[in-house]
Amino acid sequence: MRATDVEQGANRPQVSAIDDLSLPSVASLISHLGATTNSTEYMLSPKAWRNLTLSETSRLVSVAYSRLTDWPLKFHDFLREEERSIRGIAVTSPRLHRLKKFLFHDLPPDLNFLLDGFRGYMRDESMDILDRRRGWATDSDIQSQAYVTATAAARQLGIRAATLHALATRVGVMEIKKSGGVRRHFTLIQRTALSSLKQELSDEIGLRSMSLLLGMSISRVEQLADVGLLERRTVTHGLVSTSLFRRSEAVELIDSLKGGGRVVAHPDREISFAEVSKYFLSQRAEFVSLIYAVQERRINLRRWDESARGIAGAIFGRGEFLNWHRQQCCVGGMTIPEASAHLHVKQEVAYHLVKSGLLKGRAAVRGRRSVTLITSGALSDFEQHYAFAVELAAAMCLSVGKVVAVLSDLGVSPICGPRIDGSRQNIFRRKDIDLVSEALKAFTDGRSENINREYSLGPTDPQTAGGGA
């Protein structure tokens, strides 16, 4: 920032001191208020300010400083100029519409002071309208404008009308009942009382908003509230109740999970929180246990995806999570889709294993559904007694078809497979594999020697080259 700018700004009437403005916020502000110099017009696109040089950044900050030194007076001038430019036109200026959307929906946290200036401007405009109306409006007309219907007030606050009535009773805001026909009745609230309701809702959000903030379903948010990880305040009006949560608690919960330990894992061996919540944590106790485990550093995070909403940004190492999940399922058991993930097979294969009796399961009732649960012991027994052809192929560095052919030559046939019972994978008994383990080892060693011999007698070998000639 140039010294001349600071000097000029010092002589101006400063209404608000602005500190710690980020460059994206400055660029957004200037983009919506308009450039003050020709040299900064090309910097206003969202892509441009990410690649600014140091000198261009200085000019951008200088322009922002000149805009903000006498804030909000200059902002009021901008709005009045915009109003004069569209005087006589019934529609709202597109530029002013974009500015209002920026202020109320896309405003960066370090520019929250802009809302105070905008509200001050709108308050001045409202008083100006009242002054101009006093010449012809009656007292009853002016008095009727001092109230707003409960439905309109609830829409302004972003809550339901029933929630508004409950909060009005709690805060002490007086409601006026007014008939509007034979069966219809309206509830009116003073416009000046809306500020009290806004203050009550300053740090509180509804259940749906909390769900979006945390990046999880509404039922998961309720589960966290049931165990006390989130404080829930319920307001009731008639038969309608609304749950309110504190935004600061959501931020604290996310920070407590972000501060967990990190573990190095291959990108292919990662599993996201969304996948974990959808396919593994079928019981509420498991979901809550996972949150506690991350907070208490009993399970580490691989990394955190900043582009995801809230807790959905947590990324686990697949191996560590599966080990933790198997320990959680020691008593109650896991579902067949969960067991398929532990066995590294598709769900259809796991269902076939249960149907054929190779994987032991028991029927259980969860809510309105009947499910088959697999205990960790049953999973360990299956891994101890049976082996997939894919597993053997990976260990022997052969294709699945080659492994099946070699074992068939040695007299070992699969007990399940596409040609036997329609299973999508060939499955062998481990005791049968152990009986021919020496023959398999000899076959693997012989194949390795052949590969090494072929590699040593490649095209660069003189004998091979001569024979080819």
Instruction: Look at residue 469 in the predicted model and tell me its pLDDT.
Output: 37
DSSP secondary structure of 73-102? HHHHHHHHHHHHHTTT-SSPPHHHHHHHHH
Residues 343 and 359: their CA atoms lie apart, in Å, by 11
Instruction: Look at residue 138 in the predicted model and tell me its pLDDT.
Output: 62
Instruction: Look at residue 186 in the predicted model and tell me its pLDDT.
Output: 63
Are the CB atoms for 243 and 160 separated by under 8 Å? no
Q: What is the pTM of this model?
A: 0.48
Which residues, 6+ apart, have CB-to-CB distance to 79 below 8 Å? 96, 118, 121
Domains of the chain by residue range: 3-133, 146-200, 206-328, 384-456
Are the CB atoms for 300 and 263 separated by under 8 Å? yes
Which residues does residue 427 pair with via DSSP β-bridges, in sequence order? Answer: 388, 416
> E-assigned strands of 225-344?
232-237, 240-246, 270-272, 301-304, 314-317, 334-335
pLDDT tens, position by position, for the chain (469 residues)? Answer: 344 443 444 444 333 334 455 656 666 666 665 544 455 555 555 566 566 666 766 666 666 656 555 555 566 666 666 666 666 665 666 666 776 677 667 766 666 666 666 666 666 666 666 566 666 656 666 566 667 777 777 777 777 777 777 777 666 566 666 655 555 566 777 777 777 777 777 777 778 888 888 888 888 888 888 888 888 887 776 666 778 888 888 888 888 888 765 556 556 678 888 888 877 776 677 788 888 888 888 888 888 888 788 888 888 888 888 888 877 765 567 788 888 888 888 888 889 888 888 888 888 776 677 878 888 888 888 888 888 888 888 887 778 888 888 888 888 888 888 888 888 888 888 888 888 877 777 777 766 666 656 555 555 454 444 444 3
Burial 199-229 (b: 16+ CB within 10 A, else e): ebbeebbbeebbbebbbbeeebbbbbbeeeb
SS3 373: strand
Residues 44 and 4: their CA atoms lie apart, in Å, by 24
φ and ψ at 37, to 5 degrees? -135, 155
Integer CA distances (angstroms), 130 to 92, 134, 367, 415, in order: 20, 6, 60, 88
Instruction: Look at residue 363 in the predicted model and tell me its pLDDT.
Output: 81
Among 433, 360, 357, CA closest to 391:
433
SS3 125: helix
